[in-house]
């Protein structure tokens, strides 16, 4: 009889717990409170997750994502950090009975490169010929291979690097670089838009067209309009990424919770829906935009593309450097620099980022090198 009583007493407690209710022991009046959760994927092997400046210990790991439960509703500050990497920070609202999603990315503070030279030693080390031994090759960057520099121009003991010839051809087949994307668009106004997807290999001859017109990754399209870069969702409504949408219940406080840029997009989506007499941008629980502007912080765009194998991040060459910017503009768009403004050209080929900097060619790496 006693066990039955305990069972009848505890079952409601488990039900309340499972549905997001918690008893607030710290409240002066006590009582039940509701909680929410956070599901965050972290594009870094050793990133440490913090919630409201406190390290998160009680977390469930799903592949490269973490799930935090029992979070009190309200705006919370989330950040992910790792030694030697740039920090990702976001402030997002947590709602009762709902799981808020986010994706954190961390790239090295110091550029990481793999130099590609015309000749290399028998052990594969890059070598620069006809230069003073005191010459500094990319002194601000890190590389895992020793760099050899010699005044000698003899190549009899060296081997030709076939990759160098390939990279040289890639860059030579690009159109002549110009100072702004807008100028490039004017030069190519008569050419057709070229689309790509992660399953389609990009040839060297088409890399410039793809970079200066439209890029398509799955159901998200990147394009230029008025000198700005936009990401537009073009797929089915039920599959739209979470960062395009806000809960309908918080519509009145969208500016406060997510920022004026999000509210502007929501209002535009509602106006377009009303004008068309459709409800495509809404459902019972959320309102979704279809377009998000990529924040370039007022700098001119030279090149744009999706970050390799990721439809949520944009790779930008601006007049002040090479950056990765998230499409997710809730609160703000995180932006991290991969390389400074000295870069002349950038090409993405088969998922590899190649850069030319004053006659020096290299692969731009996005992970810390292990020495």
Instruction: State mean pLDDT over 256-278.
Output: 85
Residue in this structure with the two tokens 């809960």, named with its chain if needed: 247
Closest CA to 126 of 153, 160, 172: 160
Q: What local confidence, expressed as pLDDT, does residue 275 receive?
A: 72
**Second-level CATH architecture of 16-105:** Sandwich (2.60)
Q: How many CA atoms lie within 13 A of 167 on its CB side?
A: 24
Q: What local confidence, expressed as pLDDT, does residue 58 receive?
A: 62
Q: Contact 166/127 with Cβ under 8 angstroms? A: no
Domain with CATH 2.60.40.10 in the chain: 16-105
d(CA 20, CA 96): 7
Q: Contact 362/114 with Cβ under 8 angstroms? A: yes
d(CA 254, CA 247): 9
What average pLDDT does the structure give for the chain?
Answer: 82
Q: Residue 277 region, left (φ>0) first, then alpha (ψ -120 to 50), else beta? A: left
| Burial class of 347 by CB neighbour count within 10 A (0 to 12, 13 to 18, 19+) | buried
d(CA 325, CA 335): 4
The token pair that represents 181 in the structure block: 């994307």
Question: Which residues are registered as beta bridge partners of 339?
Answer: 322
Q: Kindly tell me the sign of the dihedral angle through the C-alpha atoms of 117, 119, 124, 125.
A: negative
Question: Which residues are registered as beta bridge partners of 62?
Answer: 65
Q: How many CB atoms lie within 10 A of CB 198?
A: 14
Q: What local confidence, expressed as pLDDT, does residue 217 receive?
A: 95
Q: Which residue has the higher pLDDT, 232 or 188?
A: 232
Read off φ and ψ for residue 58, nearest 5 degrees.
Answer: -85, 85
Least reliable range by pLDDT among 64-78, 185-199, 238-252: 185-199
Q: What local confidence, expressed as pLDDT, does residue 200 receive?
A: 36
d(CA 311, CA 199): 13
Q: What local confidence, expressed as pLDDT, does residue 133 receive?
A: 84
Q: pLDDT per residue over 29-55, tens digit each?
A: 444 458 899 999 998 888 899 999 999
Query: Strands 60-62, 286-288: parallel, antiparallel or unpaired by DSSP?
Result: unpaired
Q: What is the pTM of this model?
A: 0.80
- Interior angle at CA 178, CA 226 and CA 294, nearest 5: 35
Q: pLDDT per residue over 71-101, tens digit each?
A: 999 999 999 999 999 999 999 999 999 999 9
d(CA 163, CA 111): 21
Q: Contact 85/368 with Cβ under 8 angstroms? A: yes
């Amino acid at each position: 009889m006693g066990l039955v009583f305990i069972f009848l007493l505890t079952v409601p407690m488990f039900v309340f717990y499972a549905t997001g209710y918690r008893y607030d022991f710290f409240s002066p009046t006590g009582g039940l409170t509701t909680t929410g959760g956070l599901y965050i994927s972290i594009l870094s092997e050793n990133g440490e997750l913090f919630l409201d400046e406190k390290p998160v210990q009680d977390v469930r790991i799903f592949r490269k994502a973490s799930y935090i439960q029992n979070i009190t509703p309200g705006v919370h500050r989330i950040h992910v950090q790792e030694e030697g990497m740039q920090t990702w920070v976001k402030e997002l609202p947590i709602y009762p009975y709902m799981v808020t999603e986010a994706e954190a990315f961390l790239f090295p503070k110091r550029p990481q490169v793999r130099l590609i030279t015309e000749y290399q030693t028998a052990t594969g080390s890059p070598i620069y010929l006809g230069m003073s031994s005191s010459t500094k090759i990319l002194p601000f960057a890190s590389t895992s291979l020793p760099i050899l520099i010699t005044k000698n121009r003899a190549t009899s003991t060296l081997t030709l690097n076939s990759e160098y010839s390939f990279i040289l051809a890639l860059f030579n087949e690009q159109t002549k670089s110009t100072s702004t994307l807008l100028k490039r668009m004017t030069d190519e106004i008569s050419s057709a838009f070229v689309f790509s997807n992660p399953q389609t290999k990009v040839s060297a001859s088409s890399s410039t067209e793809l970079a200066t017109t439209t890029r398509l990754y799955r159901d998200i399209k990147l394009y230029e309009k008025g000198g700005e870069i936009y990401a537009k969702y073009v797929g089915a409504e039920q599959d739209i990424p979470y960062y395009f949408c806000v809960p309908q219940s918080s519509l009145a406080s969208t500016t406060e919770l997510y920022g004026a840029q999000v509210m502007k997009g929501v209002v535009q989506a509602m106006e377009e829906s009303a004008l068309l007499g459709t409800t495509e941008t809404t459902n019972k629980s959320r309102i979704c935009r279809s377009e998000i502007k990529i924040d370039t912080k007022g700098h001119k765009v030279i090149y744009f593309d999706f970050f390799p194998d990721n439809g949520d991040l944009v790779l930008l060459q601006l007049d002040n450097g090479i950056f990765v910017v998230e499409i997710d503009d809730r609160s703000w768009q995180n932006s991290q620099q991969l390389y400074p403004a000295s870069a002349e050209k950038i090409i993405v080929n088969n998922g590899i980022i190649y850069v030319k900097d004053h006659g020096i060619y290299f692969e731009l790496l996005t992970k810390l090198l292990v020495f």
